Amino acid sequence: MKQIQVSEDIVSLSDFKSHASKMLRQVQTSRRPIIITQNGKPAGVLISPAEFDSLSEQNRFYNAVKSGLADIEQGHVLTDEELDRALDETAMV
């Protein structure tokens, strides 16, 4: 995701409502998120579907690594021989 440009990427809810189509195109072409404010405070973030997919994939990867590290800390590991044996058993089924 590209860096936010404050002068272009932070808009009020009323501006967003008035120019939603334009802003959707902007998100697609610039690949920068748009911050939507309500009463002067951040209320939402608009990102492209591609950026959403990328962030979701990064999150899944992060969680898988975190889970793997927790397994290591808890001693839930297999030796090479145990893994080979488990894979052989699975292949036979």
First to last CA, the chain: 44
pTM (two decimals): 0.70
Element (H, E) at 77: none
Cβ–Cβ under 8 Å, residues 9 and 32: yes
* Predicted confidence (pLDDT) per residue in 1-55, tens digit: 778 777 779 999 999 999 999 999 999 999 999 999 999 999 999 999 999 999 9
Cβ proximity of 33 and 1 under 8 Å: yes
- Domain residues of the chain, as ranges? 6-47, 50-92
Q: Which amino acid is at 67?
A: S
Q: What is the CATH number of domain 6-47?
A: 3.40.1620
| Residues 65-91: tens digit of each pLDDT | 999 999 999 999 999 999 999 999 888
CA distance 7 to 25: 17
Q: What is the DSSP string of 19-67?
A: THHHHHHHHHHH---EEEEETTEEEEEE--HHHHHHHHHHHHHHHHHHH
